[in-house]
Amino acid sequence: MRIGIVNDMRAACEALRRVVDSLPDHEVAWTASDGVEAVALAKRDRPDLILMDLLMPHMDGAQATRQIMAAAPCAILVVTATVSGNISLVYDAMGYGALDAVDTPMLGPAGEVSGAGALVEKIGVIAKLVGPAGESRRRPQPRAGGAPPRLLVVGASTGGPKALADLLLPLPQDWNVATVIVQHVDVAFAQGLAKWLGDRTGRSVRVAEHGQHPQAGDVLLAGTNDHLALSKDRSLEYRADPREVFFRPSVDVFFGSVAEHWPQIGVAILLTGMGKDGAKGLATLRGRGWHTIAQDEATSVVWSMPKAAIDAGAACEVLAIDQMARVVTARLGG
């Protein structure tokens, strides 16, 4: 079965992931940090089973269960820190369609998982109900040869977080475009930035995972101190090379890989930032027929990166940040 994990605690997510990974013929489909993100992911990629926490920010597990069962029904197992301590919410969730409830396994200091027996047993029972490997609902990640979504790629540095929020907020909430962002930020702050952008824009913004294929509706953020790049099979990967590139992750490295491997033209944007990273990559994308946009001086905190791109002839348009969503939507569709 393909299993979705919903929990706002990193240790709990890791414990659940390890349990799922230990089971033959089971795999983690995705993880969500709250009910809002879980509903969005379930609509886009319905798994065979969801392990649903109860107490989470933005939307609790009972309400998430209600919305998922209305929009993308699938098996839901409540997995919470203490079933007995949250019995009212447990009954609410089961009233909305959850099948059962179990306490969350614990991740120990040495990385061991304890208390997983009851969860494993319940997953086994649900697997028999769903059917072998959940083939009737299997929705694998698209691979090379499938129709890829339209793509929006964005590079940013100094002043980027606010500019990214201003760009994303007015874009259509439900549209068939994948968005991938490279922001100069240390790995220690990447998860926090993704959450902050999600809170500011009402979107599910996630850190890109190695091997992930961008899908329609995704908003993915480069999340390590290595370079994010697109590989030949259109999956995202993190690379240490080129090591001599100062900015990590590099906008140039990512834009260049997209120009090489993405099969259709999209829109590329270079936002506020210090230095020249992104100018070369934006020029390469423009040469491949992409519509390229650089942020104007008036709305940039630091105009070095967009200016370098403009000076290199890499930008089809120079726009204020509040003008970009309209142009992007017109180019990529609503």
Catalytic amino acids? 157, 184, 277
* Residue matched to tokens 């270079």: 270
- Tell me if 114 sits within 8 A of 108, measured CB to CB: yes
Residue pair 279/312 in contact by the 8 Å Cβ criterion: yes
What are residue 318's DSSP bridge partners?
294
Tokens, residue 48 = 């065979």
Q: Nearest Cα to 180, choosing from 103, 133, 234, 134?
A: 234
Separation CA 71–CA 46 (nearest Å): 10
Report how far residue 269's alpha carbon sits from residue 318's, in angstroms, rounded to the nearest whole number: 10
Q: CB–CB of 187/302 below 8 Å?
A: no
Amino acid code (one letter) for 233: D
Which residues lie across from 153 on neighbouring strands? Answer: 180, 268
Tell me whether strands 227-230 and 236-239 are parallel, antiparallel or unpaired.
Answer: antiparallel
Cα separation, 329 vs 177, whole angstroms: 10
Query: Which tokens sit at 75?
Result: 């098996």
Cα 318 versus chain centre, distance: 28
The DSSP letter of residue 40 is: H
Whether the bond between 249 and the residue before it is cis, its omega within 30 degrees of 0, is yes
What is the distance between the alpha carbons of residues 176 and 146, in angstroms, rounded to a whole number? 15
User: Quick one: how far is CA 151 from the chain centroid?
Assistant: 14
β-bridge mates for residue 106, sequence order: 114
